[in-house]
Structure 1
Amino acid sequence: MNPFSSGTRLRDMIRAIRACKTAAEERAVVRKESAAIRASINENDQDYRHRNLAKLMFIHMLGYPTHFGQMECLKLIASAGFPEKRIGYLGLMLLLDERQEVLMLVTNSLKQDLNHSNQYIVGLALCALGNICSAEMARDLAPEVERLLQFRDPNIRKKWAFPRSVPDLMGVDVSGDWNKRTNQLWNTVILASLWALWLERNNRIFDGVEGDKCTEGLVKTLKDVVNSPYSPEYDIAGITDPFLHIRLLKLLRVLGQGDADSSDCMNDILAQVATKTESNKNAGNAILYECVETIMSIEDNGGLRVLAINILGRFLSNRDNNIRYVALNMLMKAITVDAQAVQRHRATILECVKDSDASIRKRALELVYLLVNESNVKPLTKELIDYLEVSDQEFKGDLTAKICSIVAKFSLEKIWYIDQMLKVLTEAGNFVKDEVWHALIVVISNASDLHGYTVRALYRAFQTSEQESLVRVAVWCIGEYGDMLVNNVGMLDVEDPITVTESDAVDVVEIAIKRHTSDFTTKAMAFIAMLKLSSRFPSCSERIKDIIVQYKGNLVLELQQRSLEFNSIIAKHQNIRSALVERMPVLDEATFMGRRAGSMPATVSTSTTTSINIPNGVSKPSAAPLVDLLDLSSDDTPAVPSSTGGGGADFLQDLLGVDLSPAPNQPGMKPALQNGTDVLLDLLSIGDPPAQSSLSTSDILSSVQDNKLPVAPLDGLLSPSAPATPVIDLLDGFAVKPPTPENNGSAFPSIVAFESSLLKLLFNFSKPPGNPQTTLIQATFTNLSSDSFTDFIFQAAVPKFLQLHLDPASGNTLPASGNGSITQSLKVTNSQHGKKSLVMRIKIAFKMNNKDVLEEGQINNFPRGL
């Protein structure tokens, strides 16, 4: 037999389709089968008509066109036998709907079957009418449907239905004969179905009917069903007629909304359903879910709602994903009603965030976000961040966004905010949006007491993570607070000591520049950090210069330009470099809010009475690349030059950000200066402008080219707090600033820190400029005995508020009788400077005549002020 002939069975066609390995093979099978069915229809083959229609229904479920078989449905419906009618009506309900005009042809067949002597054929017609009935069919067949309400067989009465497409028939004579007839179905499933559908679609069905009486009747019926004995005919998984349960609960839910009396009437039966229904079967879970939804919809009853939320909590522990998902959906609605009851199931909801099903994870994460408040934000955030470390890559984006939003919204302390954001950046920095790390930088800049702590935390995080956003924040902070990193300034009790040299700090920024995964923004920020470190660490200046100069031929124009300009600053303008790259002032959050129109700020409160508003993002000002050294982002757009003046004037105005055109005088205001020189000098605050001058803009430009006119220093543009310094050449040279004597602090007398019969230790003190907390100690060891010392080792220990760094000693052999000495440099940082004095315990080990000698002591006689 041909496998694609009309005589093949449905199972053979299904087997052939399932054997297809590609979509093209499946289409070929369906195409050949459809061709065979069309050929059979054209030949009017009555023997295989039912088999062809069964195949068409399967093909229709696969999504292929089957319109050519619609008339076959009508032919089978018109057949005399039950098997043919069953296939015909099933095809009618699947292949057609009430909008098809061909349905007019089946009205007569439906009318005959509704009057048929075979109850099963009557049931087929009723089912089909309930699914595809049009308004015209409803009006034509209404008498037959109404008559069937009196049918002797209960199976037909259960299938009794009326289409919702004819509202004028639905509301006819509600209090009259029609209502009396519907009351005959009070104890059948169709009553609850019918009344629920009518009430939802057309509330007029209960006009004239007292709501209390309806509620009382429904409650009585539901109570009888709940307490009814075992009935094999209606039993499903040990529950009597769960469909009737559900329909009655839905109707009670509609009746109880906004009606306190009806709600009170149904409270007892709802509590009974919620406590008696077993939850180990799917039918029981369906009833419990409808009961919970009804409890949540009717008027307030605190005890019932707690019971309902506890049921949802049990649902969250179910192994069925569908049950857990609907429970999460319902809890999101319940949290607006009774948040405290939902909070009790917080641990279970958190476990759902870690579920393997993606839809459950997302819904649970949304629910956790709604559960967060000031009292539980810390434990919840910790749980989410811990899960972030092991979560799937496709889920990290959603999880990271929620964590950042929670931290920004509910943060109580800056240090906690910074810690959590650093953890997020370390684990999923590539999923963090730009506005998040922009806002973090704003917080860091405003937390002056946490600068040292933050830069050390970022240095540690950089060693273990390559996340792009983390690298950007790290290089920004190292560029700003690199000296605090090296000197361990602002140590907190909660952090461990860390030893970082100037070379180590430069290594971090160099890695960020050379890392192949770093994008243009990261590299540009690292260039800026390098320029700042060249001033912070003069000993590394040449190394930094060598790193920067490597990019003078880079294909990216911005990096090439920064390389050339920064190299020029490092090589030729050391005198003004420190002022040029001074530490950034505190970032004004209001400024960044203004640059982000429409953004909503999140509040982070400090430990004091003040609070700051963190904007959702930090955008940067437009500026020329040469002066955009401290911008948070490097994708800057050059400022549009003013159209006033010639080409040279446009360049000057663009570079300096000033308008050289004279402004008209305004009433009540100071008269504007009358020429370009006065305007330029006034804006730049360089001395007093001449009383009379006739220089034009072209004269100014020519004076600049001849190095006769001072213009704005770049350090004034880069660091607002820096003093103005005259500039000779805009592109190459800067005026030499008179040398400023370095302030090395007050001189401290040398002390004999330790002395015994064998050894003498002398301390000399000095302080680096601008850092009163740090003390540099030069230790000199002298041998007082007649024997030389070998394997010389010096060790020291300080309290927690002090940080000690020891450089290697000049040697390990100490000559006898003071004929030589060993020196060693120490650096001590006093975090309690001005409050506590230095104190140190020392241990000196050496060998004398091949015998181990140990000298110990405590130094308390440090000069005051260290």
Structure 2
Amino acid sequence: MRMPAPIRLRELIRTIRTARTQAEEREMIQKECAAIRSSFREEDNTYRCRNVAKLLYMHMLGYPAHFGQLECLKLIASQKFTDKRIGYLGAMLLLDERQDVHLLMTNCIKNDLNHSTQYVQGLALCTLGCMGSSEMCRDLAGEVEKLLKTSNSYLRKKAALCAVHVIRKVPELMEMFLPATKNLLNEKNHGNLIGTFSDNSSSQLVPQLVRILKNLIMSGYSPEHDVSGISDPFLQVRILRLLRILGRNDDDSSEAMNDILAQVATNTETSKNVGNAILYETVLTIMDIKSESGLRVLAINILGRFLLNNDKNIRYVALTSLLKTVQTDHNAVQRHRSTIVDCLKDLDVSIKRRAMELSFALVNGNNVRGMMKELLYFLDSCEPEFKADCASGIFLAAEKYAPSKRWHIDTIMRVLTTAGSYVRDDAVPNLIQLITNSVEMHAYTVQRLYKAILGDYSQQPLVQVASWCIGEYGDLLVSGQCEEEEPIQVTEDEVLDILESVLISNMSASVTRGYALTAIMKLSTRFTCTVNRIKKVVSIYGSSIDVELQQRAVEYNILKSATFLLSTGIPSITAYNKNGLKIDFSFERSNTNPSVTVITIQASNSTELDMTDFVFQAAVPKTFQLQLLSPSSSVIPAFNSGTITQVIKVLNPQKQQLRMRIKLTYNHKGSAMQDLAEVNNFPPQSWQ
């Protein structure tokens, strides 16, 4: 008994569209699939073509249709064109090279490639070019090559595209197609030319390609190929891409295409997106080949115009392309710096990111101040996901191009104030090292940091640097020695107040509290009026639940109790002892400024005659400041019966090892005496 005729594809589509729910649609599909399966079991299946078409529609909706694969092969073997068309379409959709079933098609495709009807041959070429495996391509490459040489332009176009797929699957077959490819360049049919340019071509073809491209841009209106007033933009793009490949690292080929690239760049209309697409490909080609410098500047200017386009996609590709070329054509890209910086204010996050990356690439020693000003403004207003990368970029640029140490420190502090919570972990030690090496900026830096964290502990890296700096240079803060800006009056108690606030703040991390506690302990050697308060604070944290803080506090208490380690006595030294003249140095620290060492010299004479007109002179390295007070006398009595004393004050803000050169002048036994000596054995307590 024959089954009733199945419903047509159009009726199936109409029925499925009436489904109100996904479940209802699924039920309809399952019912129809069952009917199709039953129909496939019939030996004389008149409606196989209709059923496979319906299966393809179900496949497009996302439902399984693999059980129709063999039916596709049966349709391909049919002599009816309508059956072959659906069969090949089904093969392209339901089969791929991972399934062994597709190998069964090889013989059918070979027969159809040799068919007398061009449309059947076209179906076979399309299928082979779409899903042919390496085995199929190797077996059928000969038939494709024959069709590539046929006089039928319809078949040549499809054969050229199929040849591309064959070469991609089996690269060693490329030589087979090269002779036919050269002939295709003389084609009048644009479709054939596009297919030809998909293939690998020799650099010897550059003149031919240049001629074809020139004809395209110089030709008049052609309704068959015109798109928005431009003659066949698809073919132009293909030619430009091929020229880019052929001109790469080839001086002769690049020179041959310079003129035509300049013509395309200057004659292409930019009011339509089609023209922008061609210009973009032109720019990529110019930048990729060994083009002339003037042509490269023209390409970068085109990208600069793209930055002013209302289309976000065009602006984005312009920024991306400029980023790739900025290293090789830095000066040309610099001319568009203001436009690039304006893109930082764009609402599109992708454009913002590209503009930020390009802005950092444009920073150099000449524009670092202006660019950093714009980037700091961007850092202040940008979304959180940009802050980490932007802060890192500013750090690197400031380190590389900083015009002065003060500017460098101010910039880093501005970043920490604006986006401190987003900076990398190494930002804190790097800034500490920068401050340490900038001796002349110690007073300025500690004052700026002190004011920066007053009442605001939200930016933890900033608080950590400030705590370290206050602990290291708190004496400079209290003494008000800042010359770079108006000094502020700060007492020892106020300094301790802010460090204690950091310790108890809920916003302070464990690491930050560690910085603050260490800073307080350091101040015990620099402050004199608050030593007892410091001891009390440190003792409190000896029982902290934070193990790190507890350990630090206990260790600091032990150090504090070891009074012999904190002894203020500085041993004396003998600086000179020669020809009966002996010079001794004794030391003490200034009460008003711990960076000042007071040296008292004592000169004695062990000979039998007095030494008269005695003059002591001293010199120190440039990093020190020396003040030599008047001596007590100019005569050193004989037999060690008396001494001359003189006071030297040495300012050592960097706490570097003290070195001194001395010059001694006096009269003895009727002769004028003079001697030079170097003193390098100062005790560490005198300069640390």
Tell me, yes or no, if structure 1 residue 527 matches structure 2 residue 522.
no
Corresponding residue number in structure 2 for 1:466: 458
TM-score, reference length from structure 2: 0.72
Say if 1:30 and 1:566 are closer, same or farther in 2 by CA, change over 3 A.
farther
Corresponding residue number in structure 1 for 2:672: none
Counterpart-to-counterpart distance in 2, 1:15 and 1:382: 62
**Unmatched runs of 5 consecutive residues or more in structure 2:** 1-7, 41-47, 572-586, 597-652, 654-688
Tell me which of 389, 399, 410 is aligned to 1:398.
389
Say if 1:224 and 1:551 are closer, same or farther in 2 by CA, change over 3 A.
same
Contact 1:7 1:48 in 2 (8 A): no
Contact 2:213 2:236 in 1 (8 A): yes
Question: Which stretch of the first structure deviates more once superposed, 157-166 or 560-569?
Answer: 560-569
Say if 1:563 and 1:256 are closer, same or farther in 2 by CA, change over 3 A.
closer
The aligned amino acid for 2:52 is R
Tell me, yes or no, if structure 1 residue 369 matches structure 2 residue 360.
yes
Corresponding residue number in structure 1 for 2:494: 504
Aligned runs of 1:119-268 on 2, under 5 Å? 122-142=121-141, 144-146=143-145, 148-149=147-148, 154-161=153-160, 162=163, 163-164=166-167, 165-172=169-176, 174=178, 178=180, 181-185=183-187, 187-199=189-201, 206=202, 211-212=203-204, 214-268=205-259
Counterpart-to-counterpart distance in 1, 2:426 and 2:157: 62
Tell me, yes or no, if structure 1 residue 563 matches structure 2 residue 580.
no
TM-score, reference length from structure 1: 0.58
The aligned amino acid for 2:73 is L
Counterpart-to-counterpart distance in 1, 2:245 and 2:329: 21
CA RMSD of aligned residues (A): 3.8
Tell me, yes or no, if structure 1 residue 276 matches structure 2 residue 267.
yes
Contact 2:184 2:192 in 1 (8 A): no
Q: How many residues align?
A: 562
TM-aligned CA deviation for residue 390 of structure 1? 1.0
The aligned amino acid for 1:519 is A
Counterpart-to-counterpart distance in 1, 2:569 and 2:330: 54
Corresponding residue number in structure 2 for 1:475: 467
Counterpart-to-counterpart distance in 2, 1:11 and 1:409: 69
The aligned amino acid for 1:284 is G
Aligned runs of 1:745-824 on 2, under 5 Å? 768=592, 770=594
Contact 2:368 2:401 in 1 (8 A): yes
Secondary structure at the counterpart of residue 550 of structure 1: helix
Tell me, yes or no, if structure 1 residue 485 matches structure 2 residue 477.
yes
TM-aligned CA deviation for residue 489 of structure 1? 1.0
TM-aligned CA deviation for residue 95 of structure 1? 4.0
The aligned amino acid for 1:197 is D
Corresponding residue number in structure 1 for 2:34: 39
TM-aligned CA deviation for residue 423 of structure 1? 0.7
Tell me which of 329, 335, 340 is aligned to 1:338.
329
Secondary structure at the counterpart of residue 159 of structure 1: helix
Q: C-alpha deviations, 1:722-745, integer Å up to 9, x for none?
A: 969xxxxxxxxxxxxxxx99966x
Counterpart-to-counterpart distance in 1, 2:329 and 2:194: 30
Say if 1:81 and 1:472 are closer, same or farther in 2 by CA, change over 3 A.
farther
Contact 1:116 1:122 in 2 (8 A): yes
Counterpart-to-counterpart distance in 2, 1:15 and 1:374: 70
Tell me which of 338, 342, 350 is aligned to 1:351.
342
TM-aligned CA deviation for residue 374 of structure 1? 1.5
Corresponding residue number in structure 2 for 1:782: none
Question: Which stretch of the first structure deviates more once superposed, 96-105 or 147-156?
Answer: 147-156
TM-aligned CA deviation for residue 167 of structure 1? 4.1
Contact 1:53 1:73 in 2 (8 A): no
Contact 1:192 1:251 in 2 (8 A): no
Counterpart-to-counterpart distance in 2, 1:314 and 1:128: 43
Contact 2:255 2:291 in 1 (8 A): no
Aligned runs of 1:713-752 on 2, under 5 Å? 713-715=564-566
Secondary structure at the counterpart of residue 318 of structure 1: coil
Counterpart-to-counterpart distance in 2, 1:35 and 1:723: 99
Secondary structure at the counterpart of residue 542 of structure 2: coil
TM-aligned CA deviation for residue 417 of structure 1? 1.2
Corresponding residue number in structure 1 for 2:43: none
Corresponding residue number in structure 2 for 1:53: 56
With CA pairs under 8 Å and 6+ residues apart, which has the higher RCO, 1 or 2? 1
Say if 1:245 and 1:170 are closer, same or farther in 2 by CA, change over 3 A.
same
Question: Which stretch of the first structure deviates more once superposed, 304-313 or 545-554?
Answer: 545-554
Aligned runs of 1:653-732 on 2, under 5 Å? 713-715=564-566
TM-aligned CA deviation for residue 173 of structure 1? 7.9
Q: C-alpha deviations, 1:782-819, integer Å up to 9, x for none?
A: xxxxxxxxxxxxxxxxxxxxxxxxxxxxxxxxxxxxxx
Counterpart-to-counterpart distance in 1, 2:198 and 2:88: 26
Counterpart-to-counterpart distance in 2, 1:296 and 1:559: 59
The aligned amino acid for 1:171 is E
Counterpart-to-counterpart distance in 2, 1:490 and 1:137: 83
The aligned amino acid for 1:510 is E
TM-aligned CA deviation for residue 256 of structure 1? 2.4
Corresponding residue number in structure 2 for 1:310: 301
Tell me, yes or no, if structure 1 residue 457 matches structure 2 residue 460.
no
TM-aligned CA deviation for residue 287 of structure 1? 1.1
Q: C-alpha deviations, 1:284-309, integer Å up to 9, x for none?
A: 22211111121122223011110011
Q: C-alpha deviations, 1:332-382, integer Å up to 9, x for none?
A: 332233211111122222333444444444333333333222112222222
Contact 2:206 2:246 in 1 (8 A): yes
Tell me which of 281, 291, 294 is aligned to 1:300.
291
Corresponding residue number in structure 2 for 1:381: 372
Say if 1:377 and 1:283 are closer, same or farther in 2 by CA, change over 3 A.
same
Corresponding residue number in structure 1 for 2:425: 434
Say if 1:154 and 1:348 are closer, same or farther in 2 by CA, change over 3 A.
same
Q: Which structure shows the higher helix fraction?
A: 2
Question: Which stretch of the first structure deviates more once superposed, 398-407 or 145-154?
Answer: 145-154
Secondary structure at the counterpart of residue 441 of structure 1: helix
Contact 2:145 2:176 in 1 (8 A): no
The aligned amino acid for 1:104 is L
The aligned amino acid for 1:310 is N
TM-aligned CA deviation for residue 264 of structure 1? 2.5
Contact 1:430 1:469 in 2 (8 A): yes
Say if 1:386 and 1:183 are closer, same or farther in 2 by CA, change over 3 A.
closer
Say if 1:301 and 1:456 are closer, same or farther in 2 by CA, change over 3 A.
same
TM-aligned CA deviation for residue 223 of structure 1? 0.8
Contact 2:96 2:131 in 1 (8 A): yes
Q: C-alpha deviations, 1:650-673, integer Å up to 9, x for none?
A: xxxxxxxxxxxxxxxxxxxxxxxx
Contact 1:253 1:294 in 2 (8 A): yes
The aligned amino acid for 1:475 is S
Corresponding residue number in structure 1 for 2:618: none
Question: Which stretch of the first structure deviates more once superposed, 230-239 or 510-519?
Answer: 230-239
Corresponding residue number in structure 1 for 2:100: 101
Aligned runs of 1:316-331 on 2, under 5 Å? 316-331=307-322
The aligned amino acid for 1:42 is R
TM-aligned CA deviation for residue 50 of structure 1? 1.4
Counterpart-to-counterpart distance in 2, 1:429 and 1:265: 55
Q: C-alpha deviations, 1:575-607, integer Å up to 9, x for none?
A: x5xxxxxxxxxxxxxxxxxxxxxxxxxxxxxxx
Counterpart-to-counterpart distance in 2, 1:81 and 1:540: 105
Corresponding residue number in structure 1 for 2:675: none
Say if 1:267 and 1:392 are closer, same or farther in 2 by CA, change over 3 A.
same
Say if 1:443 and 1:183 are closer, same or farther in 2 by CA, change over 3 A.
closer
Say if 1:355 and 1:506 are closer, same or farther in 2 by CA, change over 3 A.
same
